[in-house]
Amino acid sequence: MNYVSSKSNVGNNVKIGYFSVIEDNVSIGDDCVIGNNVTIHGGSIIGNNVRIDDNAVIGKKPLRSINSIFKDKNDYEPCRIGNGTLIGTGAVIYAECKIGEGVLIADLATVREDVKIGNETIIGRGASIENLTNIGARCKIETNAYITAYSEIEDNVFIAPGVVTSNDNYAGRSQERFKHFKGITVKRGGRVGAQATILPGKTINEDGFAAAGSVVTKDIDAKKIAAGNPARILRDVDPAQLLENQK
């Protein structure tokens, strides 16, 4: 048994599993599959041929601590999920997210409010994408990566498992920090190796590469590989690996 609000619009050939809840004013396109125990919050917009697996939550409103720099709104824009997107078991997609077409958001991933994700991007298992972040098309954000708020990730970026990013150089101290929050920037074709750490406000330029385990304390130039703690330029990227040479 499940609950589907009479105020929602469900398309043709939609399958809905047991104990799922679809609140008011939800729009679901044709040929979708909604798993068991899924919650789709009011106003969410789901495209055609979307699959949402068991225990996922779509359109969740954020929680705010008493000391949060973000303020609650009376109204949140709806979560929008594009055609052909796949959302895994236990994934949580917040209100005001705009998810493109053909995206994969894997099991247990979290996508916070006001995030944009481009077409055909993969968000890996257990990855966390914080609020006010933009991610381009055809990116791969791998298992357990953490993308901090206020980040900008352009098209064709690869971020390996266990990568950590940050946006607060004051580490939670001083009122001055509120003026300087800034996430990371990874330009088109940039890559980040496994378990690298990128400090606030740092940029990896086009086709730049932060090697596995590196700690990025300075910007990485285009087409350069940086490695170490702190990361230093090691060499040029192999021309065969440059994005513009890929077919």
Sketch out the chain's domains with CATH numbers. 1-138 (2.160.10.10), 163-247 (2.160.10.10)
State the pTM of this model.
Answer: 0.93
Contacts of 215 (CB under 8 A, 6+ apart): 196, 197, 199, 228, 229, 230, 231
pLDDT (0 to 100) of residue 176: 64
pLDDT (0 to 100) of residue 83: 98
pLDDT (0 to 100) of residue 247: 47
Contacts of 3 (CB under 8 A, 6+ apart): 20, 21, 22
Splitting the chain (247 residues) into consecutive groups of 10 residues, what average pLDDT does each group show?
A: 93 97 98 98 98 98 75 84 98 97 98 97 98 97 97 98 89 67 94 97 97 97 96 91 66
pLDDT (0 to 100) of residue 243: 76
